[in-house]
Amino acid sequence: MKKSFRIIKFKKNKPVLQVKSVSKSFDGRPILKKINLDLFPGEIVGLIGPNGSGKSTLYGAIIGQYKIDNGSIFLNQKEITSEPIHIRAKLGIAYLSQYRSVFNMTVFDNLLGICQITIKEKEKQRLMVEKLLTEFNLQHLRNINANSLSGGEVRRLQIARTLINNPKIILLDEPMAALDPIIVQDIQKFILKLQSYGCGIIITDHQVQNLFEIVDRAYVIGEQTIIASGRPKDILKSTKARELYFGSFEN
Ligand code: ADP
Ligand code: MG
């Protein structure tokens, strides 16, 4: 999957998300130390780090699942550090868990259920569901129980679902993990579709290659801090990142 060239000049805009010097520990054990991260509207940013390096914890801090120890978080220049999880969702933060998180009901009802919470008019709810079923190639699966979907299909459903709340940013936690290469390409295509809605997107993965094919920039987490950031080709030049993480990537 090759990403076509990009014409958006992200940095002309203000960041849609700013993570400023965020620290988080669990039971006195530091997991994240003074993490800084910016995300611009329409940008896809990768978050790379070995298992257990704190990627999901950083997402938890951004969505409001975890209270942070220090630092601050801004969405569209408004501080949200103390806002509860449901307010952050309302303000436009969407999140796709790294786990298979769908309801035990049909694909159609999985989408309709979320629409019923966020969209008032019945007709508009149905229109949104039909639009998402079509755009994410789920029409033929609409009456199937979501628990019977394949790994790639359930990812498409989860990705489609993130769009319902009209999000400003979408956090995808390992959306390409444990999928066959051909399915990874399919998911990459749908992630790029999310970007076409103008959302800022952060993606984690430990398959660096899959991630670098679709991101504009990336951050590498190691030893509780960001040890490298920038465009993929700049990150590959970073000695620190290579030592920690990319040793086998150049082969
Ligand atoms: P990643 O997503 O990069 O694999 P995580 O953010 O899930 O890493 O985990 C980072 C570290 O924090 C791990 O050592 C994990 O065991 C620990 N951790 C994550 N969540 C909790 C929690 N709720 N309570 C205590 N420790 C946690
Ligand atoms: Mg994780």
CA of 84 to the centre of ligand 1 (A): 20
pLDDT digit string (tens) for 101-135?
899 999 999 999 999 998 999 999 999 999 999 99
Considering every ligand atom, which ligand is closest to the CA of 28?
Answer: 1
Task: Determine whether domain 13-101+167-246 maps to CATH 3.40.710.10.
Answer: no
Whether 51 is in the pocket of ligand 1, judged by its Cβ within 6 Å, is yes
CA of 96 to the centre of ligand 2 (A): 11
Q: Which string of b and e fits 206-244 if b means at least 16 CB within 10 Å?
A: bbbebbbbbbbbbbbbbebebbbbeebeebbebeebbeb
Q: Where in the chain is the domain with CATH 3.40.50.300?
A: 13-101+167-246
Beta pairing, strands 217-222 & 225-230: antiparallel
CA of 40 to the centre of ligand 1 (A): 26
Whether 52 is in the pocket of ligand 1, judged by its Cβ within 6 Å, is yes
pLDDT digit string (tens) for 73-86?
999 999 999 999 99
Neighbours of ion ligand 2 (CB under 5 A): 55-56
Q: What average pLDDT score do residues 130-155 get?
A: 96
pTM of structure: 0.91
Q: What average pLDDT score do residues 179-185 get?
A: 91
Provide the token pair at 39: 């995300």
Considering every ligand atom, which ligand is closest to the CA of 49?
Answer: 1
Whether 4 is in the pocket of ligand 1, judged by its Cβ within 6 Å, is no
